[in-house]
Amino acid sequence: MGQIERIDKILKNVLSGIEKLTEKNRNVDISVLWAKLIDENLRGKCYVLFEREGSLYVKVENSCCLSLLRIQKKQIMSKLKEYGYSYKDIKFLI
C-alpha cells in the first residue's frame, strides 16, 4: 500500500492533468491561441495568416514588431509545443 495523500493534492493533480489535455487539443484554432502566446504589446500588431508544410506564417505590422517576435521566436515555439502544435518554423511576413 502506498503513502497516504491529502485529497486536495490528489484533486489538484487530476484537474491540472485534465486542463493540460484539453489545452493540447488541436481543435483549438491557432489564430485564437496566438493571442495567448505572444507578448501583450504585440497582440494587435500581428496575426496568423496560414499553416503550410509544417510552418506557421504570421503577418506582422512593422519591422519593429518583427524584431521583437524574432527575439521571442524560441519561446513561442516551445509554448506551441505545449499546446500540441509542432511546427518546424514560424515565418514572419511584413
Please, which residues have CB within 8 angstroms of residue 51's CB and are 6 or more apart in sequence? 30, 57, 87
In this prediction, residue 49 carries a pLDDT of 94
Average pLDDT over the chain reads: 85
pTM of the model: 0.69
Residue 53's nearest CA partner among 27, 80, 89 is 89
Instruction: Say whether pLDDT at 72 is over 70.
Output: yes
- At 14, the pLDDT band (50, 70, 90 cuts) reads confident
Instruction: Say whether pLDDT at 24 is over 90.
Output: no
Domain spans of the chain, in order of start: 28-93
Instruction: Say whether pLDDT at 27 is over 80.
Output: no
Residue 39's nearest CA partner among 79, 1, 85 is 79
- Show the cell assigned to 21: 489535455
In this prediction, residue 46 carries a pLDDT of 94
Q: Which CATH number fits domain 28-93: 2.40.30.10, 3.40.50.1000, 3.30.930.10, 3.30.300.180?
A: 3.30.300.180
CA distance 91 to 13: 36
